[in-house]
Amino acid sequence: CRFFADGDSFRFLGGLHISQIIDKAELLEMNPGDEIVVRDEQYAYYVLSGSPLIMTKSGSQSNFLKHELIGNMFSNDNIMLDRIVATDEAKLFKINLNDVFDVLTNYKVQANRIINTASKNLQNHFYQNTKH
């Protein structure tokens, strides 16, 4: 829980809500060269360690760092996640956004803030750090 609270994406939540979200998340452990194909907008990915390479559908790529939450919801069509590739050992939480809303049923503003953070992180990262 403490690790989540250290990042901007979840800092504003209490420990109980964070632990409930973690309990529903899937831990993904990646070795160099491992790849995740992103198929939908229902999931966000929270980087626990490593610096996975994020590739968009348009071919842009950039490395994401620890504590970054990324996802496709509300993203510009030109900057949609396509693949996540491990360049080193990496751990990510795959978070179903429906679970976030379930946990935060009475806290819609906070749930929307998490989802908006994931989209903004993706958008801002590629606007500032895109390499072709």
Confidence category of residue 78, pLDDT binned at 50, 70, 90: low
Asked if the model's pLDDT at residue 25 lies above 80, the reply is yes
The residue among 12 and 17 whose pLDDT is bigger is 17
The residue among 5 and 87 whose pLDDT is bigger is 87
Asked if the model's pLDDT at residue 4 lies above 60, the reply is no
Give me the residue spans of the domains in the chain: 2-129
- Region for residue 7 given its phi and psi (left: phi exceeds 0; alpha: psi -120 to 50; beta: otherwise): beta
Q: What is the dotted CATH code of the domain comprising 2-129?
A: 2.60.120.10
Task: Cite the DSSP H helix spans in 28-95.
Answer: none
- At 130 the pLDDT is 46
Backbone angles phi, psi at 125, to 5 degrees: -60, -40
Looking at residue 83, the DSSP 8-state letter turns out to be E
The sign of the dihedral angle between the CA atoms of 30, 36, 38, 39 is negative
**Separation CA 118–CA 132 (nearest Å):** 22
**Separation CA 26–CA 99 (nearest Å):** 11
Name residue 56's beta-bridge partners: 81
CB 44 within 8 A of CB 112: no
Mean pLDDT of 25-48: 89
Amino acid at position 113, single letter: R
The residue among 27 and 97 whose pLDDT is bigger is 27
**Biggest alpha carbon distance in the chain?**
43
The residue among 104 and 130 whose pLDDT is bigger is 104
